[in-house]
Amino acid sequence: MKKIFIMLTILLSGCSTKLTISSTPEVARLSFKGQDFITPFTVQYSNMWERELPYVLYKDGYKTQSGYLPSESQNLNFILQPSE
């Protein structure tokens, strides 16, 4: 039983995603998983099924961006385009 617990702990600890997200310009609002974050920020979350998560990135005076955050850990920088 102890071996099973240790194996599950190792398996589940490897199923998380860590993203460091920034934007140019900074202080943009990124919304995903039902929460809003202000760039720049770092977030780590459980991603057991390695799914890409939908996001929306917006800032006043700039075009809104949307897409899917990657399932693997990495650094991301979004470049916002001024709205016309």
What is the residue range of 59's domain?
2-79
How many domains does the structure of the chain reveal? Answer: 1
Asked if residue 61 is part of any domain, the answer here is yes
Asked if residue 84 is part of any domain, the answer here is no
Q: What is the pLDDT of residues 69-80, one digit of tens each?
A: 888 888 999 999
Asked if residue 16 is part of any domain, the answer here is yes
The pTM for the full model equals 0.75
Residue 1's pLDDT is 64
Asked if residue 12 is part of any domain, the answer here is yes
Residue 42 confidence class, pLDDT cut points 50, 70, 90? very high
Report, as an integer, the average pLDDT of 62-66: 96
Residues 6+ apart with CB under 8 A from 58: 28, 29, 31, 64, 65
Which CATH number does the domain housing residue 48 bear? 2.60.40
Report, as an integer, the average pLDDT of 53-58: 94
